[in-house]
Amino acid sequence: MIRFAVSETELQQRIEAEAAGWLKKALTKAKAANASGHVGEGDGIWSEIKGVYMELQGFKCMYCEKPMPKPDDERDGASGKVEYDVEHFRPKNRVTAWPPAKVKARRKIDYDDALEAGVPTGYVWLAFDHLNYGVSCKTCNSELKGDRFPILGKRGKKGQRNAELDPIEKPCLVLPVGANGTNPEDLLGWNGPLVFPKKGLSAEDTLRAKVLIDFFELDTRRDLLEGRCHGIMLLFPKLKEKTAKAKKFVEALTADDATFAGCLRAFVALFKKNKAQAAQWADDCERYVITRGKTGLTAPES
């Protein structure tokens, strides 16, 4: 998970280029929603600007970084947009508690007493706020997130935008799109393809990182582990080369628009610090891919 930095001015420009007049229409919709206290099912104009966030995020999920279809990957005339969900970071109509009982039991969560749910009726006033959007895969959005929004602080007040709400609510989740808020790479640490709370964090930020990992199951989803392993397998031999071509390849695999960039950037840092451990991870990743995950993945000794 990484930050996709963009200023509000640039984002507004991109939105108007994609769908002229959208920002004005959004203001009208927002006034109606605030007056009624609810966002209607037919009010979803955010889908009109889905392409802005797809391109901004490098055609990958904002939360798990797995790759998603690009517009030129058309099949039978489909653009691939259907596989993206426009994600409301703060849910628009209601907020339910997390974790559900099944998730708590399956992931052995013991810290839920420290969590509060966000505003129960939802953040209606942010439903048409372009700074409350991103695009995500259906697993992250529909299956895992839904209308859940765990926080560590106090619930915010109506009318406040994300930048004002964050220091009050102390959300456990991170909105990686925009210029403000927590950088996910400041919370998440890596050992090969395995993600952990970063070392040296405060107790509060360690808990935020744990929730982020548990919430989106970033440490156990097979498709994510396999994808990261593939990336490490491609990256490792190029790190050993000292050519300009190899350097460009490494830069491409760790760029903001690269798949699993957060993990692969950390692997580059590991290679510089401990080449033997990086080599062991490359071997383990290859074994994991060949056996379709039957060998499992365990952090090697430092």
* pLDDT (0 to 100) of residue 297: 87
Query: If the chain, 302 residues long, is cut into consecutive pieces of 10 residues, what is the mean pLDDT of each piece?
Result: 95 96 96 90 89 95 95 60 92 95 96 96 96 96 96 95 95 93 94 96 97 97 97 97 95 96 98 96 96 81 51
Beta carbons of 66 and 259 less than 8 angstroms apart? yes
* pLDDT (0 to 100) of residue 301: 54
Give whole-number Cα distances, 218 to 59, 150, 210, in Å.
18, 17, 10
Nearest alpha carbon to residue 91 among 138, 126, 45, 56: 126
* pLDDT (0 to 100) of residue 77: 46
Cβ contacts of residue 262 below 8 Å, gap of 6+?
1, 2, 65, 184, 185, 188, 190
C-alpha–C-alpha distance, residues 295 and 288, integer Å: 6
Residue 123 tokens, joined: 């953040």
C-alpha–C-alpha distance, residues 121 and 160, integer Å: 15
* pLDDT (0 to 100) of residue 100: 95
> Does pTM surpass 0.85?
yes
C-alpha–C-alpha distance, residues 126 and 88, integer Å: 8
